[in-house]
Amino acid sequence: MASFTIVVGDPESGASHQFEAEDQDANRFIGKSIGDIVDGSAVGLDGYTLEITGGSDDAGRPLNGTVAGANLKEVLMKGRQTGYKPRRDGERRRITVRGREVSDAVAQINTSVAEYGETSIDDLLGEDDE
């Protein structure tokens, strides 16, 4: 069975929250790609809509939006991209990345709030600002 760590970023407040999704909730993410919309009730955020912005697998390889599918692929990267930071001008390197589709090999999924619900995230999670 699939299980993921879902990181939800709130663009308005700049805060992020981590959730564990297992079994049926995790299956809502399988087959989705970077940029797809997912219902927030999968992680306990009823009324919210989440957009998948990235992620990584167990080995730390990032999901790359330019690679189709869910398999590993070596990509020649130049310039600053997800998973590659060149150390000097003109440097290129072949980096192994995972495709943009979420599969059971993915360990972490990064999301951003696309549409807000009626109640705040802090109220849904039971957190109080002190």
pLDDT band of residue 126 (cuts 50, 70, 90) is: confident
Residue with tokens 């955020």: 45
Q: Are 73 and 87 in contact (CB under 8 A)?
A: no
Query: Residue 34, CB half-sphere, CA atoms under 13 Å: how many?
Result: 20
94 assigned to some structural domain = yes
- In this prediction, residue 1 carries a pLDDT of 67
Q: Are 65 and 35 in contact (CB under 8 A)?
A: yes
Domain that holds residue 99: 3-117
123 assigned to some structural domain = no
82 assigned to some structural domain = yes
Number of structural domains found in the chain: 1
User: For residue range 82-124, what is the model confidence (pLDDT) as tens digits?
Assistant: 888 999 999 999 999 999 999 999 999 999 999 998 888 888 8
Six token digits for residue 80: 């600053």
74 assigned to some structural domain = yes
Instruction: Check: pTM over 0.85? Answer yes or no.
Output: yes
Six token digits for residue 38: 């997912």
Q: Which range among 29-38, 69-78, 115-124 shows the weakest confidence by mean pLDDT?
A: 115-124
| Overall residue count recorded for the chain in this entry | 130
